[in-house]
Structure 1
Amino acid sequence: MVHLSSVGLAVAASGLLQTVTAAPQVTTDSASTASTTSFLGGLFDFLDVANLTVTHHNGKLYGCKCSPGQLCWPQQSKWNQLNNTVGGNLKLHIPPAASCYNTFTGPLGTVNTYDAAACADVHANWEDEMWNVEKPGAALWTYFTNETCRPTLNPTDSCTLGYYGVYVITATTRNHIKAGIDFARRNNIRLVIRNTGHDFIGRSTGAGSLIINTHSFQDVQWISSYAGPGSYSGPAVTIAAGVIVTGECPTVGVAGGFIQGGGHGPWTTLKGLSADNVLAFEAITASGHFVTANEAQNSDLFWALKGGGPSAFAVILSVTMKTFNDVSSAGATFYVNNTHIGFDNDAYWNATTIFHKWSNHFVDNGLYVYYELFPFTLRAQPFVAIGKTVAELNAIVAPMLAELTANGIPYEWNPKSFPTFFDLYIDLFEPEAAGGSALTGGWLFDHNDVATNNDGIIEAFKTVFSPRPDIFSFIVGHLFNPGYGAPVSNSATHPSWRNATDFVITVLPVPLGASKAVKADYQNVLTNTIDQALRDASGSGATYVNEADPYQPNWQGHFWGSEYPRLKQIRKKWDPLGVFYSIATPGTEDWEVIQDTRLCRKL
């Protein structure tokens, strides 16, 4: 069977709901409220939804979610009532590093927070992914928190909430999740669904929000023969929302944003995207109803949840998926770096060109390859050959190695055999470091791109490395083909994935303490220089929903292609008033964050 890792992780408790020491500062908005449409009947009953608050900003009219300090913000008695409803699991959200500061100043007041032992723990574990996963609302990568409470050695420094949510429910029952959705809908509060915090583009946090943490849902039920609906009758597994499954990264919660983004990993070339292998969902809708979604029930929602975008259509409680027998596998590491070529720039780019030239060949032979490109470093760890021997892997890779040798480029190639893929994963895959601050972009190169414009792709990679003299970024690449063996897509993912070869992530580190102007400059460089070079070198028109620039032009088409119009209509059906929100997901064209913190819809 498919192996699961880290089953049973629980979210660490964050203490009792705390009383702040300073009264909130109240500001008033326009007294009028935006009119909303009432949706009647069963699953689509939105009669209790609160109206958006009308706001004028830069000469435009907006309907906004309620923010702390406004008259519309719920009184403490309402929050206390919610806390009772969720069994005492509602907490003020305090950033993980607050224990290193004398005080934390949030939008509701000031709390004494310094704790020497807890602060030492923060410094020791700030870059540890699993440590961050176990926090109730932490983001593993912190750029979209606004970096206003990072670890410090000076307790008198300032620690504020930044763009983190205000309150968090550490949900332990499905009714806790429902209570949070209902509260947000009835009180016009921005809602954030947070599972593990594995999120590159800020969808797991949001200013002024109520966070619902689903990570404590750890049930796993194995099914020997799935009974339908649908034609599949093989082995399956039902995975609750908080279970972490070994993908490429060890902190991915499969029954959430991973599936809703499509889901790629080492098995993708052989079995398609994870979304292609879903059989059913249990979920909670924006109207607070529990639903089953499969081929026969709520089939439109079923399709949309399979790759249609995270936190857009419903909150997933569990997912039922096909499983496949684990098999003996071969893996390898491959390096060309300055220990082999020194600082010979031509040799480095020649090696990279040759490596990437063979990428179609790799995926057409069933391989998956995870690689990184830094100056003078080409690092592929690992090559993955599921169900193959070392001899078979060596034979597939031999033409590339021969071409490197013919061009006088030294390299390191280290193949190994493993009794199972799980053993390969434990040995060759590496954890990522949390706590970094960076912008993320990326693009998909398909078979035709590699076959006809490999040199152009490499030129684009050079632009990524040095978009201008004062800025450096790097590349994380994934060679896989969800269309290997011509599987038929049954998910909402972009059609271009069926001819994929290489999905690259571009990572642009942002200086800590950067001003708004500097951040805007870096975002412009990412969108219009770095990723534009990749777009210009490709005809795929596609990129990955969860690991790409959400501010890119035409994100709708680039994320979903021809599937987007249908997704937008389904969103209008299941969440017509925007109870759920995450950036660059179907139906969010008219929503934006104004005044740095207020989530608003253009009227």
Structure 2
Amino acid sequence: MKGGVVVWLCAALLLAQDAVAKGPAASAAGDESSGWVLRREGSSSYACKCYPGDSCWPNHAKWRKLNATVGGNLKVNIPPGAPCYNSFEGPLGEVNTYDEAECDRVTSNWHNEQFQIELPAASLWTYFTNDTCRPTTNPSDTCTLGYYPVLAIIAKTAGHIQAGINFARENNLRLVVRNTGHDFLGRSVGWGALVINTHNFQDIKFTGQHRSACSYRGSAVTVGAGVQAFEVLTQANALSPPKIMVTGECATVGVAGGLVQGGGHGPLTNFYGFLADTALQFKVITADGVLRTANAKTNPELFWALRGGGPAAFGVIVEATYKTFDDKLSSGVHLDIDTSHTTNATLFWEAVRIFHGYSTHFVDNGLYVYYELGTTGQNLHVHPFVGIGKTPAELQAVLQPMWDDFAELGITYTTSSANYSTFYDLFNAMFETEMAGNSALTGGWSIGRRDVEDSHPAIMDAFQTIVGAGSFMIGHMWSAGHGLPRSEWGSSAVNPRFRTVVDKLITVVPLAGNAPLADKAAAQDKLTNVVDAALRNAAPNGCAYINEADPYEPNWQHAFWGTNYPALLRIRQKYDPNGVFYAVSTPGTEKWEQIETGTRLCRKL
């Protein structure tokens, strides 16, 4: 970007209140003196958060004071692709942004997750940004903010987070909490919002003998809100003996925020349950701006809710303490079946049936299985089968019945295997790097043990329906109740049904975020009422996982939390009665909607 940008950023902060003409038409009727803006859409009335263009939007003196309070770390948010455009047309003004060298850098790194993570307010998957301002070779194209936040606090202390929460609450602004931007449901972005970026909280502290409020005595790690899985796993592996902790399958996901608040499943879930099941304590800032300790004895109901009760629902986690475990030798196997092996669709689906029919067998024998189905049409891509604590011979023995069934039907495939001295080494070698910058609608459902045992043909019909609809699936075979004592199943707020799940699926409907509204509506309908409906009907003993699901999942309260929902709703009403925090389809958001084509966040009156 050219030299005038810095001056513009400062001017935008000072003159934010002058952006009235830039925002949507200010409400002609509304009690904006109270911070609520009254709107109507269709036959409904709403009280909305305050946005640029509303007279309640904070004036320059308030923004200056906030900027001083957060140590000058309040930034005007500019979409990452802006250097490829002649100008960025933001809600606080217009600025010349073209910079050829910077455009080349952004373009070459667009699909790099870590590049996107290090930005103030980028979302790794762009559908819910409205796919605005992507890198382009035509600088005269239009670059707007889309649904990205307007301003960002690059928080470096707990006080900065507190100041941001207090400012949003006192001025009734939409607040977004963002660490890495790992998010399929659009929670890391929000039109007209103030974002608190927690990625700078990078402390990692190990202890060999943690004494917790829940009587745990053992090794543990305390991580700051911005720590990513690969960072803590690398340091844990360097200990003697090497340690491991439950993380997601993706190495770049943060481990102290939305992951644990959604539950947090990964390759170690068969042994230790969800990440939420291993949590020992949180330092968390609630909607009143108070920094609290939450553990089994101090604020125990908040501690329970933070362990799987919903991301961005109960507070901003500043740091989290988790159990760690001794790492073990591990073995892995890759499997591919695609059109290079057979073009016979019937035979291919027989191979899928055999593979998936062994899901209960795999998890009962301690395996974790990560697979993709239908990404290129007729393909099954299992990368990998993971045997933690197993030798190659032991892993192959678990897989042998599947190999035998393949051989009996004449199914050919490609496979490879490897063994490692630790799971950490397998994790780095056998899991594939994920990509950022793509646009799609995502949904998902999980399959219960009883569903596999009683109605597997219906599950196979659902899989074919999904692939036939031009969608694809990502599967994670594990059992969150396999290695975790039954007495601990209720210690976290994750849906009790997950204890008998054997396969958790992500469904994907590819679509550009800037597609016409009619196309978006059709894609959402297909996701909810065709793709995911097929899985719900075939697997009635399953449930949905809040971090990887359709944001408009029908009966989401039950689908995401089951019998835990009433308690979560009560806790949410206690700690955030006015809706300072918001994430779609989380406890207490029943009356909240994003109206006016998904822009204004409002409470239905």
TM-score of the pair, normalised by structure 2: 0.92
Counterpart of 1:218 in structure 2 is 202
Q: Deviations over 1:295-346 (max 9, x none)?
A: 11111100000000000001000111100011111111111112222x2111
Q: Deviations over 1:469-522 (max 9, x none)?
A: xxx110100000011035222100001110010011101000464101110110
Counterpart of 1:145 in structure 2 is 129
Query: What percent identity do the matched residue pairs reach?
Result: 52
Q: Deviations over 1:107-141 (max 9, x none)?
A: 11111111111100111011111110011100000
Cα distance in 1 between the residues matched to 2:97 and 2:72: 21
Q: Deviations over 1:510-539 (max 9, x none)?
A: 046410111011000100011000000012
Counterpart of 1:353 in structure 2 is 353
Contact 2:282 2:293 in 1 (8 A): yes
Does residue 409 of structure 2 align to residue 407 of structure 1? yes
Structure 2 residue identity aligned to 1:360: T
Counterpart of 2:397 in structure 1 is 395
Q: Secondary structure at the match of 1:321?
A: strand
Offset, 1:54: 2.4
Counterpart of 1:170 in structure 2 is 154
Q: 1:145 to 1:15 in 2, by over 3 A?
A: same
Cα distance in 2 between the residues matched to 1:416 and 1:51: 60
Could you list the runs of 4 or more consecutive aligned residues of structure 1 that deviate by over 6 angstroms after TM superposition? Answer: none
Contact 1:295 1:302 in 2 (8 A): yes
Offset, 1:79: 1.2
Cα distance in 2 between the residues matched to 1:273 and 1:594: 35
Contact 1:286 1:574 in 2 (8 A): yes
Cα distance in 2 between the residues matched to 1:87 and 1:371: 46
Counterpart of 1:473 in structure 2 is 471
Counterpart of 1:29 in structure 2 is 27
Counterpart of 1:427 in structure 2 is 429
Q: What aligned pairs does 1:149-548 form with structure 2 within 5 A after superposition?
A: 149-246=133-230, 247-341=248-342, 343-374=343-374, 375-467=377-469, 472-485=470-483, 487=485, 488-489=488-489, 490-511=491-512, 513-548=514-549
> Which is further off, 389-398 or 374-383?
374-383
**Which structure 2 residue ranges, 5 or more long, are not aligned?**
231-247
Cα distance in 2 between the residues matched to 1:527 and 1:93: 32
Q: Secondary structure at the match of 1:248?
A: coil
Contact 1:505 1:547 in 2 (8 A): yes
Cα distance in 2 between the residues matched to 1:345 and 1:31: 60
Contact 2:77 2:151 in 1 (8 A): yes
**Which structure 1 residue ranges, 5 or more long, are not aligned?**
1-13, 36-49
Q: Secondary structure at the match of 2:144?
A: coil
Q: What aligned pairs does 1:521-600 form with structure 2 within 5 A after superposition?
A: 521-596=522-597, 597-600=599-602
More helix by share: 2
Aligned length: 571
Contact 2:30 2:36 in 1 (8 A): no
Counterpart of 1:4 in structure 2 is none
Cα distance in 2 between the residues matched to 1:482 and 1:451: 18
Structure 2 residue identity aligned to 1:291: R
Counterpart of 2:42 in structure 1 is 58
Contact 1:34 1:63 in 2 (8 A): no
Offset, 1:30: 4.8
Cα distance in 2 between the residues matched to 1:511 and 1:105: 21
Contact 1:144 1:201 in 2 (8 A): yes
Contact 2:205 2:223 in 1 (8 A): yes
Contact 2:332 2:418 in 1 (8 A): yes
Cα distance in 1 between the residues matched to 2:526 and 2:214: 47
Contact 1:330 1:393 in 2 (8 A): yes
Structure 2 residue identity aligned to 1:474: F
Q: Deviations over 1:225-265 (max 9, x none)?
A: 11121111111111110000143112210100000000000
Offset, 1:76: 2.0
Offset, 1:51: 4.2
Q: Deviations over 1:239-296 (max 9, x none)?
A: 1100001431122101000000000000001110110010000010100001000011
Q: 1:121 to 1:420 in 2, by over 3 A?
A: same
Structure 2 residue identity aligned to 1:405: A
Cα distance in 1 between the residues matched to 2:107 and 2:330: 38
Cα distance in 2 between the residues matched to 1:68 and 1:273: 40
Offset, 1:347: 1.5
Structure 1 residue identity aligned to 2:183: D
Cα distance in 2 between the residues matched to 1:270 and 1:592: 39
Structure 1 residue identity aligned to 2:497: S
Cα distance in 2 between the residues matched to 1:595 and 1:485: 47
Q: Deviations over 1:24-76 (max 9, x none)?
A: 234432554399xxxxxxxxxxxxxx642222322322111001111011112
Q: Secondary structure at the match of 1:508?
A: strand
Q: Deviations over 1:536-591 (max 9, x none)?
A: 00122411110000112101100000000110000000000000001010000000
Cα distance in 2 between the residues matched to 1:255 and 1:538: 31
Cα distance in 1 between the residues matched to 2:468 and 2:292: 49
Contact 1:129 1:431 in 2 (8 A): no
Q: Secondary structure at the match of 2:582?
A: coil
